[in-house]
């Protein structure tokens, strides 16, 4: 068996390729030195461990001795885990998108020895097909061009990089902040792309993009336009009913290959669970419909069960592919872990419960996936909500409660059976950024759903990262933890997302350490990433000579951009600490991204959320009372039951909290309890309305 240098790496993705015959290097000086010394271009392959097409390209090409020999002869091959090094991924993805019009993973890019890209693409087959040149043919052509036309290649790569650098320039607008009309423009852009029949925005494949939900729900709160709210609720309903939602185990798969959320791409990502969990919580706050609360519960229970480290951190992802037959562990199929034959359900559940379950979840004798070009689901069923419990009960002329109880028992049995199957590969690295998103969701989930398990999970994960991935002396945060090793200096996303998680944790649990840590992280974030001259934040710190350009990411896609969350954190902390430098940095960043908000608001919905917050007069809610007493709990229950996006919440429970918070906002020094009961002060611009110890009155003030 071959073994290459990747065997020494912690990344699960790099370790997957450690026994390829390709002479892989990790990104670093050894590879760069070899490229320069031997005058060979670099073949850079970027992906991640739960990526289906990454697995395909590995099986077809990187495990092929003949193709590996060509790669090793003419190139210096480098593997990068995009989840560990998003900075490298962003640079070369920008190049691939600019030169090919598309992007994705695996990403394949050829670089000069000074790391400038000159050819790029995504998946390449092992021979000419799908209208693409086969990888071996392409490798020979590129090697020949490098020998015969090198100067042209070098000149072209430099010119393309210069153009990319110009496109990436973000500078503060001389015209100041954008007009409020950018919020209207954002709403209308999403309205035009909304799928009225099936929910979601745009056509198949359909990806969840919770940043859009964040914007539209806040736009609804600002304008009372019910259409903005209803687009989100319809999307959340359709997603939850489809096969993209794991109907047995909870949690959402990455995306739907069709327009009706039915056939998913089966990988599960932590950042999707975190953001969608929050979307369903906010839908529940707005509607009080228990359906949304139920979906949120199932997301959180899935993460606790299957994606949580024994010490509290959250794992990154589960694979789309899984073993079809335990007797043949090398043979894997898309979604094999999740799909069912009808006869299998009948054997496990018995009749009539199996018939009821099949009706409810769209199970058919010969399988329910009609459009199956790869025949991956032949005779199999993807569970989806074909009928409601009530419709199922009427169909079989049975009481709804009887059917509901029976269905729950079948689901329990099927989940127990499924748990004995070979699980998909788990990417068990802990990333600061994605943990920050999940901490936010669990903190809110614990408060809104009144579920202590979720509150504990949020606090444990924060403790995990602060204890193992953060240096309080220097303020430095690391990005990745795996197998007792914390490594890779954090990027903007790590600082911003984790600080947001700590802020949400403070506003639900009121441990002052979390607020103080969020302040310190934000200070360090500004030191490392802020462009003080032009506004906004770079994605990576300065000083890394291996990065051919330094980028300011602003696209709010599957994840929010680091800039959007950084600005919102600064605005929240400005309200909490009354520190003018936080407010100024936020305003300067908003001016820097003004043209993006005005030009393509649908590309920056989370930045619109931050801008919306800056326009509002956020309610400063200060509660005076002990955290653990019933009267404080009742006040908090009233608060968390309502969707109030433009607010900050602080609690004065003891002398240390009073001293610290009053150091930022002096009026807190004079705030006391009325009649010895927990008392709420609701303020705007540090001017407070009359305090109240009555929960009903408090609810009126915050609404």
Pairing state between β 42-47 and 76-81: parallel
Based on the domain organization, do 210 and 155 belong to the same domain? Answer: no
Look at residue 470 and tell me whether its pLDDT is greater than 90: yes
In a domain, 280, yes or no: yes
Average pLDDT over residues 644-655: 96
Confidence of residue 232 (pLDDT cuts 50, 70, 90): very high
What HEC string does 60-72 produce? Answer: HHHCCHHHHHHHH
> At residue 650, what are phi and psi to the nearest 5 degrees?
-135, 155
Look at residue 81 and tell me whether its pLDDT is greater than 90: yes
Q: Please enumerate in sequence order all residues whose Cβ is within 8 A of that of 499, keeping only pairs 6 or more positions apart, or say none.
A: 436, 517, 518, 521, 522, 525, 569
Picking from 387, 410, 427, the residue at the C-terminal end of a domain is 427
The answer to whether 529 and 541 are in contact (CB under 8 A) is yes
What does the alpha-carbon distance between residue 348 and residue 248 come to, in Å, rounded to a whole number? 14
pLDDT digits (tens, 9 = 90+) for 616-640: 989 999 999 998 899 999 999 999 9
Look at residue 130 and tell me whether its pLDDT is greater than 90: no
Based on the domain organization, do 199 and 71 belong to the same domain? Answer: no
Based on the domain organization, do 144 and 232 belong to the same domain? Answer: no
Share of the chain above pLDDT 70, in %: 99
In a domain, 576, yes or no: no
Write down the pLDDT at residue 611. Answer: 98
Average pLDDT over residues 250-274: 97
End-to-end CA distance of the chain: 66
Nearest CA to 49 out of 563, 481, 484, 425 is that of 425
In a domain, 335, yes or no: yes
In a domain, 423, yes or no: yes
Distances, alpha carbon 116 to alpha carbons 44, 158, 655, in Å: 11, 7, 57
The answer to whether 93 and 104 are in contact (CB under 8 A) is no
Based on the domain organization, do 128 and 214 belong to the same domain? Answer: no
b/e map of 153-173 (b: 16 or more CB within 10 Å)?
A: bbeebeebbeebeeebebebb
What does the alpha-carbon distance between residue 684 and residue 699 come to, in Å, rounded to a whole number? 16
Picking from 100, 134, 168, the residue at the C-terminal end of a domain is 168
The answer to whether 44 and 81 are in contact (CB under 8 A) is no
Confidence of residue 174 (pLDDT cuts 50, 70, 90): low
What does the alpha-carbon distance between residue 124 and residue 321 come to, in Å, rounded to a whole number? 19
Picking from 409, 427, 445, the residue at the C-terminal end of a domain is 427
Q: Which domain holds residue 309?
A: 181-187+194-427
pLDDT digits (tens, 9 = 90+) for 157-171: 899 888 888 877 777
Based on the domain organization, do 294 and 234 belong to the same domain? Answer: yes
In a domain, 247, yes or no: yes
The answer to whether 259 and 203 are in contact (CB under 8 A) is yes
> At residue 261, what are phi and psi to the nearest 5 degrees?
65, 25
What does the alpha-carbon distance between residue 3 and residue 73 come to, in Å, rounded to a whole number? 17
Domain containing residue 19: CATH number: 3.40.30.10
Write down the pLDDT at residue 651. Answer: 98
Lookup: tokens for 507: 């506003």
pLDDT digits (tens, 9 = 90+) for 368-394: 999 888 888 999 999 999 999 999 999
Write down the pLDDT at residue 175. Answer: 62
The answer to whether 245 and 252 are in contact (CB under 8 A) is yes
What secondary structure does DSSP assign to 280-349, as a single string?
A: HHHHHHHH--HHHHHHHHHHHHHHHHHSB-TTS-B--EE-SEEES-TT-TT-EEETTTT-B-HHHHHHHH
3-class state of residue 532 by DSSP:
coil
What does the alpha-carbon distance between residue 87 and residue 493 come to, in Å, rounded to a whole number? 10
The full length of the chain comes to 703
Based on the domain organization, do 163 and 311 belong to the same domain? Answer: no
pLDDT digits (tens, 9 = 90+) for 428-468: 999 999 999 999 999 999 999 999 999 999 999 999 999 99
The answer to whether 42 and 31 are in contact (CB under 8 A) is yes
Write down the pLDDT at residue 4. Answer: 97
**Residue 355 burial (CB count, 10 A):** 18
In a domain, 103, yes or no: yes
Based on the domain organization, do 155 and 277 belong to the same domain? Answer: no
- Beta strands per DSSP E along 187-301: 255-256, 264-265, 268-269
In a domain, 446, yes or no: no
3-class state of residue 79 by DSSP:
strand
Distances, alpha carbon 611 to alpha carbons 163, 181, 320, 530, 579, in Å: 29, 11, 37, 18, 18
Around 483, how many Cα atoms within 13 Å sit in the side-chain half-sphere? Answer: 7
Nearest CA to 4 out of 78, 84, 73, 58 is that of 78
Average pLDDT over residues 340-354: 97
pTM: 0.97
Find the Cα–Cα–Cα–Cα dihedral 407, 413, 419, 420, rounded to 10°: -150
Pairing state between β 647-652 and 619-624: parallel
Look at residue 172 and tell me whether its pLDDT is greater than 80: no
Domain count, the chain: 3
Write down the pLDDT at residue 556. Answer: 97
Average pLDDT, the chain: 96
Based on the domain organization, do 327 and 388 belong to the same domain? Answer: yes
Residue with tokens 């000149």: 155
Max distance between CA atoms of the chain, in angstroms, equals 87
Average pLDDT over residues 237-241: 98
Based on the domain organization, do 151 and 26 belong to the same domain? Answer: yes
- Which residues face 314 on adjacent strands? 308
Average pLDDT over residues 263-287: 98
Based on the domain organization, do 411 and 346 belong to the same domain? Answer: yes
Average pLDDT over residues 123-147: 91
Confidence of residue 173 (pLDDT cuts 50, 70, 90): low
Write down the pLDDT at residue 68. Answer: 97
Task: Looking at 530-644, list the stretches that DSSP marks H as alpha helix, in order from N- to C-terminal side.
Answer: 562-577, 580-592, 594-599, 605-615, 630-640
Based on the domain organization, do 200 and 267 belong to the same domain? Answer: yes
Based on the domain organization, do 131 and 206 belong to the same domain? Answer: no
In a domain, 691, yes or no: yes
């Amino acid at each position: 068996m071959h073994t290459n240098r990747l065997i020494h790496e912690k990344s699960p993705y790099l370790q997957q390729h450690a026994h390829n015959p390709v002479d892989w290097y990790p990104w670093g000086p050894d590879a760069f030195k070899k490229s320069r010394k031997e005058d060979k271009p670099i073949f850079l392959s970027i992906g991640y461990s739960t990526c289906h097409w990454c697995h395909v390209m590995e099986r077809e090409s990187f495990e092929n001795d003949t193709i590996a020999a060509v790669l090793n002869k003419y190139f210096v091959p480098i593997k990068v885990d995009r989840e560990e090094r998003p900075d490298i991924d962003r640079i070369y993805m920008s190049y691939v998108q600019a030169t090919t019009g598309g992007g994705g993973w695996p990403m394949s890019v050829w670089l000069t020895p000074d790391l400038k890209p000159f050819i790029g693409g995504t998946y390449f087959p092992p021979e000419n097909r799908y209208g693409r040149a086969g990888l071996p043919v392409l490798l020979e052509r590129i090697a020949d061009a490098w020998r015969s036309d090198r100067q042209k290649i070098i000149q072209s790569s430099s010119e393309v990089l210069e153009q990319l650098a110009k496109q990436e320039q973000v500078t503060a607008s001389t015209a100041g902040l954008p007009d409020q009309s950018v919020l209207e423009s954002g709403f209308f852009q999403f309205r035009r792309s909304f799928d009225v029949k099936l929910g979601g925005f745009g056509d198949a494949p359909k990806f969840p993009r919770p940043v859009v939900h964040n914007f539209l729900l806040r736009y609804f709160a600002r304008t009372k336009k019910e259409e903005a709210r209803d687009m989100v609720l319809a999307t959340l309903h359709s997603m939850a009913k489809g096969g993209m939602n794991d109907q047995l185990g909870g949690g959402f798969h990455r995306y739907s290959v069709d327009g009706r959320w039915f056939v998913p791409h089966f990988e599960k990502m932590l950042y999707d669970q975190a953001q969608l969990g929050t979307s369903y919580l906010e839908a529940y706050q707005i509607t009080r419909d228990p359906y949304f609360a139920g979906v949120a519960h199932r997301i959180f229970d899935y993460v606790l069960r299957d994606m949580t480290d024994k010490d509290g951190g959250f794992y990154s992802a589960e694979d789309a592919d899984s073993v079809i037959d335990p007797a043949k562990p090398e043979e894997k199929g898309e979604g094999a872990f999740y799909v069912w034959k009808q006869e299998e359900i009948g054997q496990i559940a018995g009749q009539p419960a199996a018939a009821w379950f099949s009706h409810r979840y769209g199970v058919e004798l010969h399988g329910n996936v009609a459009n199956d070009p790869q025949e991956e689901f032949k005779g199999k069923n993807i569970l989806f909500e074909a009928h409601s419990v009530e419709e199922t009960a009427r169909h079989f002329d049975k009481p709804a409660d009887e059917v509901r109880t029976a269905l729950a028992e079948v689901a329990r049995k099927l989940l127990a059976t499924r748990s004995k199957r070979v699980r998909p590969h788990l990417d068990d690295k802990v990333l600061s950024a994605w943990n920050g998103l999940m901490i936010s969701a669990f903190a809110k989930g614990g408060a809104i759903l009144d579920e202590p398990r979720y509150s504990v999970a949020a606090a444990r994960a924060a403790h995990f990262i602060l204890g193992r991935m953060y240096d309080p002396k220097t303020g430095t945060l690391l990005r990745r933890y795996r197998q007792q090793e914390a490594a890779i200096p954090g990027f903007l996303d790590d600082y911003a997302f984790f600080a947001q998680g700590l802020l949400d944790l403070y506003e639900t649990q009121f441990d002052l350490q979390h607020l103080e840590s969020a302040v310190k992280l934000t200070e360090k974030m500004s030191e490392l990433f802020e462009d003080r001259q032009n506004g906004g934040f770079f994605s990576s710190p300065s000083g890394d000579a291996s990065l051919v350009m330094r980028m300011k990411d602003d696209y709010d896609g599957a994840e929010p951009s680091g800039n959007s969350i950084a600005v919102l954190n600064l605005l929240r902390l400005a309200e909490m600490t009354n520190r003018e430098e936080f407010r100024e940095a936020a305003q300067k960043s908003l001016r820097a991204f003004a043209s993006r908000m005005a030009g393509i608001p649908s590309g920056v919905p989370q930045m619109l959320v931050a801008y919306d917050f800056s326009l509002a007069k956020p309610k400063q809610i200060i509660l005076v009372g002990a955290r653990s007493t019933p009267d404080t709990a009742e006040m908090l229950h009233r608060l968390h039951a309502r969707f109030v996006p433009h607010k900050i919440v602080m609690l004065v429970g003891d002398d240390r909290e009073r001293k610290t918070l009053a150091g930022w906002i002096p009026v807190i020094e004079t705030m006391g309890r009325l009649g010895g009961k927990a008392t709420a002060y609701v303020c705007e611009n540090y001017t407070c309305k009359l305090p109240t110890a009555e929960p009903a009155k408090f609810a009126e003030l915050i609404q």
